[in-house]
Amino acid sequence: MSSLENFPWLNKAFLNTNLLTLPHSSLIEGSKGLGKSILASKIAKTLLCSESSTSSCDSCHSCNLFDQSTHPDFFINEDDSKIYFHHKRND
Ligand SMILES: [Zn+2]
């Protein structure tokens, strides 16, 4: 599975994203093959993690659901140039 750490440009975009101010739905645009879905998944997994607000812990129930692609509060719709994703965080 591709990891954000393998794409330095995505890691920089993730680090520059203020997760506290993101709405529940977001749209990412860019060229095909840029890694938009990887970035969207990283952002959503971090927001949905129940143990950390700055990175995903990879061990909580929410992270396990996310890794199995069964998280009920994450939805992603993608085409070649746009990624729309929705995440419902329990604040
Ligand atoms: Zn977690």
pLDDT at 78 over 90: no
What pLDDT does 71 receive?
93
How far lies 55's CA from each of 30, 50, 51, 80, 81, in Å? Answer: 24, 10, 9, 27, 26
What protein residues have CB closer than 5 angstroms to ion ligand 1?
49, 51, 57, 60, 63
What pLDDT does 90 receive?
56
* DSSP 8-state class, residue 21: G
pLDDT at 7 over 90: no
Q: How far is the CA of 61 from the centre of ligand 1 (A)?
A: 7
**Domain range annotation of the chain:** 4-87
pLDDT tens track for 33-74? 888 889 999 999 999 999 988 889 999 999 999 999 999 999
Mean pLDDT value of segment 2-31: 87
Q: Which two tokens stand for residue 17?
A: 């994203």
pLDDT at 3 over 80: no
